[in-house]
């Protein structure tokens, strides 16, 4: 509110300061054509030493005081001299202004005020200036040269403007204060309506900064404030989800690391204490230690690989290659693994003609390895795994499908999250990082990957551009 009041008073102050100069400019524009007319009249008059009754009697009708000078700068008509006072009579002998006009100049003031501009006008130039007398009073001076020689000069006191404007200025200031008072009450309630939800959002933001993402802003307020509240609440939900993901990530990493470390420690202590009596028993423990060490190494490698992919530090250079070679390598490598596990394996792709794509062959093969590993782990005995490649509008859709339990619609959006497994008991093995790595690789190749599942089979599919 103080800003509104200050703005009003500042506007009034600027108006008061500028108004006198605007008024002076306006009066100068009014007096200049009059002065030109008088100059033309005097130029056409045979005897310019006798201005005539018209100019003498109508002097005050111009709204300013008229001064006429000949070519030598001698006054032909000026207040207290050639101009008659109102009501007739003779001019006062002391040269003071005639009675009835508080704003006219004495001869002494005239000499002080006009002397600076008279030579300029006599030289043939028009002038319009604000000058001050010896007493410090401001006058508007408008001068026009006479063609035959001489000058017509009007003077107008700025004190008249000041007295005229003082009432207007007082009215302006009072009106500004009155408007401020009238607007004070509605402005107070409007400001309160805006400030209260903003303060509440500030408190919500402070709580979020301290890690509390359960707080919510008020979305019921209409307009931008309500939209801001909704945005803050969306941010809180996402932040809470990310925080929960971070906690789950730490917990899952700890779990995945603890299991092989605990196993290695237990078997190492057994061997150290000499509790494995036979060589066969010791070899079994050695093999288990190696297996768990490899499991731990794979987990660390997967974590590092995922971090590099998410940070964009892994090169994804593309080249054009025949996808059939990659598909054939995968089919040869995993076909017998699937059959050894009691699974049916099939390839559904057109292998007779080249399948040229623009991508990274090594990374595509890495993704297919992840998908095949995942399918073998989650397909029940006598199930079927299918490696497919289908031509689509802008390239090819490659995928791995397997029969088995259907993945629910609630689980599919999180299937590619780190450590996320549909099997909460982790009975299928794996560390839950494979699909996350596959997603980051596909994203790095500027392609898309997604999952589909129905009552018959589950498919993980991704695109490859030609």
Dihedral of the alpha carbons of 168, 170, 172, 175, in degrees to the nearest 10: -130
| CATH top class, domain 2-165 | alpha beta
Q: Please indicate whether residue 100 or residue 152 has the higher confidence score (pLDDT).
A: 152
Q: Tell me which residue has tokens 């607007």.
A: 183
When mean pLDDT is compared across 164-178, 186-200, 264-278, 372-386, the lowest value belongs to 164-178
The whole-angstrom separation of Cα 387 and Cα 369 is: 11
| CATH top class, domain 319-465 | alpha beta
Query: Residues 449, 460: contact at Cβ < 8 Å?
Result: yes
pLDDT band at 94 (very low <50, low <70, confident <90, very high): very low
CB atoms within 10 A of CB 446: 11
Task: Examine domains 2-165 and 224-311 and report if their fold is the same.
Answer: no
Q: What is the pLDDT of residue 89?
A: 40
- pLDDT tens for each residue of 307-347: 777 777 777 788 999 999 999 988 888 888 888 888 999 99
Residue ranges of domains in the chain: 2-165, 224-311, 319-465
Ordered alpha helix ranges (H), 350-418? 361-378
Q: What is the pLDDT of residue 143?
A: 92
Q: Please indicate whether residue 423 or residue 174 has the higher confidence score (pLDDT).
A: 174
Can you name the residues that pair with 356 across neighbouring β-strands? Answer: 322
Topology of the domain comprising 224-311? Helix Hairpins (1.10.287)
pLDDT band at 425 (very low <50, low <70, confident <90, very high): very low
In 3-state terms, what secondary structure has residue 252?
Answer: helix
Residue 199: is its pLDDT beyond 80?
A: yes
Contacts of residue 35, defined as CB under 8 A and 6 or more positions apart, other chains included, come to 142, 143, 144, 152, 153, 154
- pLDDT tens for each residue of 215-272: 888 777 777 778 888 888 888 888 887 777 777 777 777 777 787 888 888 888 888 8
Predicted structure pTM score:
0.48
């Amino acid at each position: 509110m103080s800003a509104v009041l200050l703005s009003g008073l500042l506007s009034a102050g600027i108006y008061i300061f500028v108004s006198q100069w605007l008024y002076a400019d306006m009066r100068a524009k009014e007096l200049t054509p009059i002065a030109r007319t008088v100059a033309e009249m005097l130029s056409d008059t045979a005897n310019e030493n006798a201005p005539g009754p018209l100019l003498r009697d109508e002097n005050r009708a111009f709204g300013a005081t008229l001064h006429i000078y000949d070519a030598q700068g001698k006054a032909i008509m000026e207040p207290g001299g050639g101009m008659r006072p109102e009501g007739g009579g003779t001019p006062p002998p002391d040269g003071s202004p005639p009675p009835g006009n508080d704003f006219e100049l004495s001869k002494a003031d005239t000499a002080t005020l006009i002397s600076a501009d008279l030579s300029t006008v006599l030289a043939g130039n028009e002038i319009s200036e604000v000058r001050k007398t010896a007493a410090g009073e401001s006058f508007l001076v408008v001068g026009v040269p006479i063609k035959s020689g001489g000058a017509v000069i009007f003077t107008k006191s700025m004190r008249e403007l000041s007295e005229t404007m003082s009432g207007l200025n007082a009215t302006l200031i009072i009106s500004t204060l009155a408007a401020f008072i009238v607007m004070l009450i509605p402005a107070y309630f409007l400001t309160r309506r805006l400030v209260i939800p903003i303060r509440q959002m500030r408190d919500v933001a402070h709580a979020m900064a301290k890690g509390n993402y359960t707080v919510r802003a008020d979305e019921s307020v209409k307009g931008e404030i309500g939209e801001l509240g909704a945005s803050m609440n969306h941010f809180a939900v996402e932040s809470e989800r990310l925080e929960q993901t971070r906690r789950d990530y730490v917990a899952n990493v700890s779990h995945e690391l603890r299991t092989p470390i605990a196993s290695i420690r237990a078997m190492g202590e057994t061997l150290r204490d000499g509790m494995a009596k036979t060589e066969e028993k010791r070899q079994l423990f050695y093999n288990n230690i190696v297996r768990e060490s490899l499991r731990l190494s794979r987990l660390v490698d997967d974590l590092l690989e995922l971090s590099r992919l998410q940070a964009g530090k892994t090169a994804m250079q593309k080249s054009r290659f025949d996808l059939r070679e990659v598909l054939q390598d995968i089919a040869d490598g995993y076909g017998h693994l699937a059959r050894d596990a009691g699974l049916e394996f099939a390839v559904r792709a057109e292998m007779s003609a080249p399948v040229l794509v623009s991508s990274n062959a090594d990374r595509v093969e890495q993704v297919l390895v992840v998908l095949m590993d995942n399918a073998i782990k989650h397909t029940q005995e006598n199930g079927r795994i299918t490696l497919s490649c289908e031509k689509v509008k802008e390239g090819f859709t490659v995928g791995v499908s397997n029969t088995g339990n259907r993945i629910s619609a609630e689980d599919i959006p999180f299937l590619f999250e780190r450590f996320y497994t549909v099997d909460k008991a982790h009975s299928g093995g794996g560390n839950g990082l494979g699909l996350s790595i596959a997603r980051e690789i596909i994203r790095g190749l500027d392609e898309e990957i997604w999952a589909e599942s129905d009552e018959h089979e589950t498919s993980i599919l991704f695109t490859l551009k030609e």
